[in-house]
Amino acid sequence: MTTRHFRVWRGDDQGGALTDYDVEVNEGEVVLDIVHRLQATQAPDLAVRWNCKAGKCGSCSAEINGKPGLLCMTRMNTFGPDETVTVTPVRTFPVMRDLVTDVSFNYEKAREIPAFAPPADLKPGEYRMQQVDVERSQEFRKCIECFLCQNTCHVIRDHEENKAAFAGPRFFIRAAELDMHPLDARDDRKEFAQEEQGLGFCNITKCCTEVCPEHIKITDNAIIPMKERVVDRKYDPLTWLGRKIFRRDQLESQK
Amino acid sequence: MTDKDITRLSYDVVVIGAGGAGLRAAIEARLAGKKTAIISKSLFGKAHTVMAEGGAAAAMGNANSNDNWMVHYKDTIRGGKFLNHYRMAELHAKEAPERIWELETYGALFDRTKDGKISQRNFGGHEYPRLAHVGDRTGLELIRTLQQKIVSLQQEDFAESGDYEARLAVFAETTITELMLTDGKVAGAFGYRREDGQFLLFEAPAVVLATGGVGKSFKVTSNSWEYTGDGHALAMRAGANLVNMEFLQFHPTGMVWPPSVKGILVTESVRGDGGVLRNSEGRRFMFDYIPEVFKAQYATTEEEGDRWYTDPDNNKRPPELLPRDEVARAINSEVKAGRGSPHGGVFLDVSTRMKPEVIIKRLPSMHHQFKELADVDITKEPMEVGPTCHYVMGGVEVDPDSTQSAVPGLFAAGEVAGGMHGSNRLGGNSLSDLLVFGKRAGEYAALYVDQTAERPAVAQSDVDAAMAKALTPLVEDAEGGENPYTVQHELQQVMNDLVGIIRRADELEEALVKIAEFKKRLASVRVGGGRKYNPGWHLAIDLHNMVVVSEAIAKAALERTESRGGHTRDDHGKMDPNWRKINLICSVQGDGVSLRRQPVPTMPIELLGLFDRSELAKYLTEDELAAFDESTKDGEKE
Ligand SMILES: Cc1cc2nc3c(=O)[nH]c(=O)nc-3n(C[C@H](O)[C@H](O)[C@H](O)COP(=O)(O)OP(=O)(O)OC[C@H]3O[C@@H](n4cnc5c(N)ncnc54)[C@H](O)[C@@H]3O)c2cc1C
Ligand code: SF4
Ligand code: SF4
Ligand code: FES
């Protein structure tokens, strides 16, 4: 056991400041353990979100020494022995209190994407899909909605004004997921991403991919292919042949 | 905002809980045309269901065509040691496949078999590969799919009315602290919003409880802060009964090191896919722990067990896949006998059993979890694991078909409901349970609303009382009051030490004395810091639920003088057929829990007849067997 110096942002929508704490740290602990110890011993009302404590629920996003990450997956042994650890709320969303922010932006964006459209000719139990075909979408469905990619993306990180027109990387992968879903009956996922979700704002900096705790290749596997295909399709005279045919040979060429 | 400010809302059906059960119930109520609210303590999509790893059990027969609902039924009843409510287990086994297939129409993407169907994996206690899964993140797929279905219904409503929430609204980070009753019937629910502490009153004739479990009252647990038994306590305070509260599932494989992650789950898929348990001497000790009742179904040599993975039709499964209670007790015994691992668990090894690529493909989140949290590479070395408090079999006593409790208008589904799993739940049977009974809860709650001519009004005095109770712990200066975190830690320690995996009368009595002290201490718990997103205040409120539920568990555990499933008595080590006929029912009387015995509903002969007589003989009393013989004789005559 050692005593470590922590600085935690305390405050609410009216303002706040970094508060200093000296706190006990034990072998094997993560930053969330320390925040919990602060609650139990020094600051019972310190607001923080968490659920699983194992990187599965995406609740505990924050910024640790300025770096966006999950509090429950940030080991204390990743810091120098005397390093002060500073914990602040994610920056892109408005603070509610302490480390808790208002992430409702994300739920609103989620609501704007047309849902999965089930194929009209298949009844429950009749769906047949090959593992290789579902795997592409499954990668995106690993998303735990920690919204760290949203928080990191420069298009909205310091640009409140872009929020209305930009859904963000989390929802680009949702569009890509549906686009690549072998049985989704809609064929306008890419166009929707371009025209309604603000895909055009993205200039492929890859910051979102770097921060994703699920290691989803947001840019390479979702954003870039969607951008390319939108361009393709806009000029492709064969588009009218229908998406299914188009999609199949794209699938082939990627194998 | 003054203290007394309150937002009043009116709905047809209020669903408390946004896990698998709650979301499925809400979908069904909305599809029935009811104005529905979903309430959850956490953000939308973060409920416990998100953490489920292994899969959802449903006898679709995709991996082995011999599977069907009857085999699933038998496995469930065997796993629960014949104490399950037969009708719940029957409905569950019959309806689970439809509920899984339905998820595909909402957009779910399960792992596939070669012929393109949903892939199914092996799990403890299931005779055939039966768990629909997505790697080891099945719960995430399930909750996200339901969440997205809810969004799609909201989109339909938006297209129609211009309002996403016209008929289906989500109240995230909102906690219900009290149910409102009028003339003994449900009239609504009272709670607060975490963000600002604002009080909310939901007026509704029907409430579905889908609040999950109770594990946070134990020190070593796989459960999160939400699992304070709120639904169990709300139901009891409203006049409903809890059944089987003595039965808690200690999952055999939780992480044991480092201390900060002690209790975090290591999915059973590790064993289902070939992982083996070894003690410090390198012995696969599970072969020493196959109980008499399971001798016929499990391999007795390592060679046979190993062959089973590739040729299940001609070999018996390895004992690592015994039901969880058996494995957890075996691990406990090995550690006690001094054959444990360095940090007080045993070894769970996949590194010598599968190629690294296969491990990473099939168990990605376990690989990640051990690497990131314990510096262990599971493709190279064994994991250290030990039992962790995981699931409560006990819960609200409900009518199996409608999920309604003893209180008109109060329904319960998912982990908060009791009866389905008897004394021990099989892995994978929870996710399917959520879907089957979640749907039924939504459907019958809607039906109940249709049949309720007059909406009951909530009495102002009840609202005032609920408000006063919620505000009691919150003060300007908490100096001199009890710290809620301290009380919680002490309660967790008591439950772990005295009401844990192995129980004794004297320890349970001691636990009840301690619980009585906690009850007194609750009155002096104080927190400062105001009403805005104040976890200390929230915990102070939750503590009341934790204590009353702990009392129910300890009382029932003391009463049941036998060992069965998730209830092991050191001083009554045997399973007793006479106890199989008895359910223990807890209800609230005054400020305490009262306990009574009630007969277990009798399994009809069509269902009983699915089992071999020799198997029934292990569980039933002589009289019951005689009655069974009599009725099968009649059958032969016909
Ligand atoms: C790590 C882990 C792995 C698991 N793996 C599997 C598996 O592979 N297969 C399987 O079948 N089962 C598994 N289980 C068990 C299964 O996940 C749970 O039993 C199941 O998800 C419970 O679902 P539920 O819908 O009943 O409740 P939950 O998903 O727990 O949801 C409860 C909801 O109720 C809300 N709530 C609670 N109290 C209140 C209140 N007072 N006011 C408002 N809202 C409230 C919560 O916020 C939450 O939204 C696992 C469990 C854990 C912990
Ligand atoms: S790649 Fe695009 S979406 Fe991702 S962070 Fe950069 S700009 Fe944002
Ligand atoms: S894509 Fe990755 S970073 Fe973005 S919300 Fe999902 S899990 Fe988080
Ligand atoms: S608590 Fe779930 S991701 Fe950190």
Low-confidence ranges of chain B (pLDDT < 70): 1-3, 634-638
Residues in chain A: 255
**A86 and A124 both lie in a single domain:** no
**A65 and A78 both lie in a single domain:** yes
Domain boundary (A51, A74, A101) is at A101
Q: Where are the alpha helices (DSSP H) in chain A?
A: 31-41, 104-112, 131-141, 148-152, 154-157, 169-180, 189-195, 207-211, 224-235, 243-254
Domain boundary (A101, A123, A143) is at A101
* pLDDT one-digit tens code per residue, B88-103: 999 999 999 999 999 9
**A250 and A196 both lie in a single domain:** yes
**A184 and A249 both lie in a single domain:** yes
**A88 and A122 both lie in a single domain:** no
Per-residue model confidence (pLDDT) at position B289: 95
Q: Sign (positive/negative) of CA torsion A163, A61, B224, B471? A: negative
**A184 and A248 both lie in a single domain:** yes
More confident residue, A103 or A230: A103
Please tell me which residue in B24, B167, B324, B580 is annotated as part of the active site.
Answer: B324
Q: Which amino acid is at B195?
A: E
Residue showing tokens 């502490």: B197
Per-residue model confidence (pLDDT) at position B3: 62
Q: Are the Cβ atoms of B43 and A59 closer than 8 angstroms?
A: yes
**A117 and A190 both lie in a single domain:** yes
Ligand 2 centroid to residue A220 C-alpha, Å: 11
B148, A116 Cβ separation under 8 angstroms: yes
Structure tokens at B493: 């320690």
- Structural domains counted in chain A: 2
Alpha carbon A177 to its chain centroid, in Å, reads 14
| φ, ψ dihedrals at B234, nearest 5° | -60, -45
Ligand 4 atom closest to B46 (CA): 2
Q: Are the Cβ atoms of A128 and B149 closer than 8 angstroms?
A: no
Which residue in A has a C-alpha nearest to residue B138's C-alpha? A142
Terminal CA-CA length for chain B? 74
Per-residue model confidence (pLDDT) at position A159: 94
CA distance B221 to A234: 54
Domain that holds residue A94: 2-101
Q: Consult the annotation and say whether B188 binds a ligand.
A: no
Ligand 4 centroid to residue B212 C-alpha, Å: 18
| φ, ψ dihedrals at B335, nearest 5° | -65, -45
Mean predicted lDDT score pLDDT of chain A = 91
**A97 and A131 both lie in a single domain:** no
pTM for this prediction: 0.94
What's the fold here for domain B249-390? Flavocytochrome C3; Chain A, domain 1 (3.90.700)
Sketch the domain layout of chain B as residue ranges: 249-390, 605-634
The answer on pLDDT for A250 being more than 50 is no
**A109 and A200 both lie in a single domain:** yes
Per-residue model confidence (pLDDT) at position B273: 86
Domain boundary (A83, A101, A119) is at A101
CA distance B550 to A26: 30
Which residue in B has a C-alpha nearest to residue A52's C-alpha? B224
Concerning whether B324 is annotated as a catalytic residue, the answer is: yes
CA distance A195 to A170: 17
Per-residue model confidence (pLDDT) at position B124: 87
Other CB atoms closer than 10 Å to residue B480's CB: what's the count? 8
Q: Consult the annotation and say whether B554 binds a ligand.
A: no
Q: Which of B11, B15, B1 is nearest to B467 (CA)?
A: B1
**A76 and A56 both lie in a single domain:** yes
**A173 and A195 both lie in a single domain:** yes
Q: Consult the annotation and say whether B230 binds a ligand.
A: yes
What's chain A's Rg over C-alpha atoms? 21
Average pLDDT for residues A151-173, to the nearest whole number? 96
Ligand 4 centroid to residue B391 C-alpha, Å: 20
**A84 and A64 both lie in a single domain:** yes
3-state secondary structure of B535: helix
Alpha carbon B76 to its chain centroid, in Å, reads 15
CA distance B613 to B632: 10
Query: Domain holding A227: CATH number?
Result: 1.10.1060.10
* pLDDT one-digit tens code per residue, A232-249: 665 554 544 444 444 444
Query: Domain holding A13: CATH number?
Result: 3.10.20.30
Ligand 3 atom closest to A61 (CA): 8
Give the number of whichever ligand sits closest to the CA of residue A226.
Answer: 2
CA distance A116 to B107: 6
Per-residue model confidence (pLDDT) at position A182: 96
CA distance B383 to A173: 34
3-state secondary structure of B572: strand
Q: Sign (positive/negative) of CA torsion B73, B74, B79, B82? A: positive
Per-residue model confidence (pLDDT) at position B192: 98
- pLDDT category at A119 given cuts 50, 70, 90 is very high
Triad A171, A172, A173: Cα angle to 5°: 85
Among A89-103, A135-149, A240-254, name the one with the lowest average pLDDT. Answer: A240-254
User: What value of ipTM does the predicted structure carry?
Assistant: 0.92
